[in-house]
Structures are given as C-alpha cells and as structure tokens.
Amino acid sequence: MSSVESIVVNTITIIIPVFIIAFILYLIRAFKGPSISDQVLAIDALTYDIAAFLVILSIYLKIPILTSTAIVLALWIYAFDIYIAKYLEKKEMGD
C-alpha cells in the first residue's frame, strides 16, 4: 500500500464514525423536531450526508458503482426539496 493510499484509508477510518454520529443526531432531530421545517431540514441533511457517505464508502471499498448511486440519490433529494418547499409554501400537493 502506498503512502497516499494509507493516508486516505486512515482518514476515511476516522471520518466514518463522525458520519454515524451525525446520522444519529439527524434522526433525533427528525423525530423530535419542534416544527415541520426542522424535521424536513434534518431529513434533508441526513440524506445529503448519506450521499456523501456513499462516495466515501466507494473510495474506501473501491466500488465505483456507489458513486453513481450517490449522484442519483442527490438528484432525488433535490427533487424532494423542491416538492416539500412548494408544499410548505402553498399547503397543497401536486402540480
């Protein structure tokens, strides 16, 4: 293993527990959020972090398909954001 590769692996090994702690905190905020806006923001941040986590996992495990999965997930999250923002603004679904 080269020097750069070992640095990347060690850094990712440190980052993974930080992501797991962040996931737990986002889930707590999603379930206990004082308002619907806080819950939506927590779910939004959680899903974007999951997309970033998939990219980090694809580097760590050397599985490139996870990167394209993360891109698709990020696009779905963006569509979800627009849909929820429209709902919260007009209080109606559809169109």
Residue pLDDT, tens place only, 21-47: 999 999 999 999 888 888 888 999 999
Q: Is residue 95 a part of any domain in this protein?
A: no
Q: Is residue 23 a part of any domain in this protein?
A: yes
In total, how many domains does the chain have?
A: 1
Q: Is residue 56 a part of any domain in this protein?
A: yes
Spatial neighbors of 52 by CB under 8 A, at least 6 apart, are 19, 70
What is the overall mean pLDDT for the chain? Answer: 88
Distance CA(67)–CA(60), nearest Å, equals 11
Q: Is residue 38 a part of any domain in this protein?
A: yes
Distance CA(4)–CA(7), nearest Å, equals 5
The answer to whether residue 52 scores a pLDDT higher than 90 is: yes
Is residue 86 classed as helix, strand or coil in its secondary structure? helix
Q: Which domain holds residue 18?
A: 3-90
